[in-house]
Amino acid sequence: MLHMEGPLLTVDVSTRSVEETDIDSILEQFVGGRGLNVRLAHERIPFDADPFGPENSLFFSTGPLQASDMSFTGRTAATSVSPLTNGLASSNAGGFVSRPLQDTGYASIEITGQSDELVTVHVSDEGVDVTERPDLEGATVPEVADALSEDGYGPESQIAIGPAGENQVRYASMMTFEHRAFGRGGLGAVLGSKNVKAVTFEGDSAPDIEVSDVAKEVTREAATEDHVLKRQGTAFETEWVNDELSLPTKYWERMDFDEGVEGISGDRVEERKYEKATCSKCAFACKLPTRDEESGVETEGPEFETVFAFGSNPMVDDIVSVMKSNDLCDKYGLDTISAGVSITAYLKANDEFGNSELIHELIEKIAHREGEGDMLAEGVDRFADELGVKNWTVKGLEFPAHDGRVSHGLALSYCTANRGADHMYSAMNIYDYFQADDPSTLEGKPDILPEVENQKAVNDTAVFCRFSRNNVLETWDGEDHRDRYTALMDASYEDLMDLGSRIVELERHFNNQRGFDRDADMVPYEIEGIEAGLDRYYELRGWNQDGTVPEENVAAYT
């Protein structure tokens, strides 16, 4: 099976020490990206680690396909214990940093310990520099990008945090290329707890990994395909989801935003897109530089989830307001989903739906933990009772836009996802929307869920952009696409699914040691047959019916 090459580099910012570890045997089993990070985290992070403590580690890696010039490979993976969910969380981001990271010659880079002073960490194939940077205290993400660029480390080589990460907002993002986010799970707060403002990468030691000629076909199609994602990003979904399914509105009180959806639709985004943009070596070019000439607001996006989080759910019908919310979150380093849902909970408690000015004010307060922002920075799971609102989370992670109340396969996947309420963990909504006879039933879906979770784990390990599904791996009915995937990864489909299963199982086992079991696998609404669905899912995974992984399952590969 195709896999990354190179050692693990550990940088302890407490002692400023550096260590290299041979991980060839692990790479053979876990390839790179999310898979490699999860395997290393399972071994090297104590099961009882405090997410904000020096014993927690943050792992960065790319996958073997970043050694190619193929489209959809401009992504980087990161894994740590989440301060939001208290479980193991993996996230990945686009942009351009995957190639500079791979150029260092390391398969994975571990940041551990806790610095007494605010520092930046520069990793190259010639060594590691840990530099005290008190001048960057409180700096926004663009300010960090400018400062490091002056030092010769361009935005394409940076992973940075803003004030939200420094202030340990539990859903703070790490940012790269200013607008590309390691969004969900609060990994920016982990970096902030270590007093690391940014990590930069450079070198000339990328591994020589030979990738199938199928890569050329994928890139050619990415360049020539006429796809709405290139014009509107995922915002194209907004009106369709509102009309045909459910677009959560008014803090989930309603399932449509009929009176305001046109003002936040994909057409409104497309009208303000002023140039093409992409990620490293990708010809698909789906990014959305947007500008509103009248107000002067300029950002990248918003994508569909941000449109929901700062549009329909808080009942804002103005795309420019959503653009401003998006830009503020990127500037301060905040996950737009968790930030938007947390703010919308506050709007509900104070009957302030639609108040754009208050929303923008609260984003700044959250990032700096000022006033009520200090409470909102903790996430909905920790403040819902105090505000007297419903707790719209699973495992502490705020819900995205795709609504499990009408997409029952997705609801089950929210229950089982190790990261919590995360539609990207399995993308079961795609099956419910386009393949299932009826989205609002669980019939047959527990049997499908383990496979699609495994597929997404492999995607995050390769590392592939999820938009590649039309070009590389069609989940349910595209054998030609499946053949492409196996050719690229030089493995049988069965071997790839075994890899995905090991990754999901290790995540679950780690979280089990932190107290997660079946009780955590539940959504905050009624779904007919959900308990039987969980029974079947655990059976197919070979897990105990209490949602825990038998020790013998993981003994062979830990």
> Could you read off the pLDDT of 403-458 as tens digits, one per residue?
999 999 999 999 999 999 999 999 899 999 988 899 999 999 999 999 999 999 99
Following DSSP, what letter does each residue of 265-325 receive, concatenated?
SHHHHHHHB-S----TT-SS----EEE-TTT--EEE---HHHHIIIIITTT---HHHHHHH
Q: Quick one: tokens of 483?
A: 């053949």
CB distance 99 to 177 below 8 Å: no
Task: Sort strands 76-81 and 88-93 into parallel, antiparallel or unpaired.
Answer: antiparallel
Mean pLDDT of 37-61: 98
For Cα atoms 457, 463, 469, give the angle at the middle one, nearest 5 degrees.
Answer: 75
Superfamily of domain 8-202: Aldehyde ferredoxin oxidoreductase, N-terminal domain (3.60.9.10)
Mean pLDDT of 170-174: 99
Domain boundaries, the chain: 8-202, 230-398, 408-555
Which listed CATH number (1.10.569.10, 3.40.50.2300, 3.40.640.10, 1.20.910.10) goes with 230-398? 1.10.569.10
- How many other C-beta atoms can be found within 10 angstroms of the C-beta atom of residue 331? 22
Task: Sort strands 196-202 and 119-124 into parallel, antiparallel or unpaired.
Answer: parallel
Calpha distance 183→422 (Å, rounded): 11
pLDDT > 90: what percent of the chain? 95
Backbone angles phi, psi at 174, to 5 degrees: -90, 140
The amino acid at 30 = F
Give the model's pLDDT for residue 484.
85
- Given CATH 2.60.40.10, say whether it is the number of domain 408-555: no
Following DSSP, what letter does each residue of 467-491 receive, concatenated?
GGGGTS-BTTTBHHHHHHHHHHHTS
Backbone angles phi, psi at 387, to 5 degrees: -85, -15
pLDDT, one tens digit per residue, over 331-373 is 999 999 999 999 999 999 999 999 999 999 999 999 999 999 9
What pLDDT band is residue 322 in, cutting at 50, 70 and 90? Answer: very high
Burial of residue 138 (number of CB atoms within 10 Å: 0-12, 13-18, 19+): middle
Can you give the three-state secondary structure of 352-421, one letter per residue?
A: CCCCHHHHHHHHHHHHHCCCHHHHHCCCHHHHHHHHCCCCCEECCEECCCCCCCCCHHHHHHHHHCCCCC
Task: Sort strands 8-12 and 108-112 into parallel, antiparallel or unpaired.
Answer: parallel
pLDDT > 70: what percent of the chain? 98
CB distance 246 to 256 below 8 Å: yes
- How many other C-beta atoms can be found within 10 angstroms of the C-beta atom of residue 99? 21
The amino acid at 178 = E
Following DSSP, what letter does each residue of 316-355 receive, concatenated?
---HHHHHHHHHHHHHHTB-HHHHHHHHHHHHHHTT-TT-
Backbone angles phi, psi at 443, to 5 degrees: -55, 120
For Cα atoms 366, 372, 376, give the angle at the middle one, nearest 5 degrees.
Answer: 50
pLDDT of residue 480 exceeding 90: no
C-alpha dist (Å) from residue 387 to 293, 379, 542: 38, 12, 40
pLDDT of residue 386 exceeding 70: yes
3-state secondary structure of 512: helix
Q: Quick one: tokens of 372?
A: 């009520």
Give the model's pLDDT for residue 516.
98
Greater confidence, 426 or 484? Answer: 426
Give the model's pLDDT for residue 468.
83
Supply the mean pLDDT for the chain.
Answer: 96
Calpha distance 130→121 (Å, rounded): 5
Mean pLDDT of 169-175: 99
Calpha distance 116→192 (Å, rounded): 12
C-alpha dist (Å) from residue 135 to 142, 197, 379, 495: 14, 11, 29, 49
pLDDT of residue 160 exceeding 90: yes
What pLDDT band is residue 473 in, cutting at 50, 70 and 90? Answer: very low
pLDDT of residue 479 exceeding 70: no
Q: Quick one: tokens of 277?
A: 């943009």
Backbone angles phi, psi at 180, to 5 degrees: -100, 125
Radius of gyration for the chain, computed over Cα atoms and rounded to the nearest angstrom: 22
Q: Quick one: tokens of 396?
A: 């502490």
pLDDT, one tens digit per residue, over 81-101 is 999 999 999 999 999 999 999
CB distance 306 to 183 below 8 Å: no
Mean pLDDT of 301-328: 98
Mean pLDDT of 527-549: 98
What pLDDT band is residue 467 in, cutting at 50, 70 and 90? Answer: confident
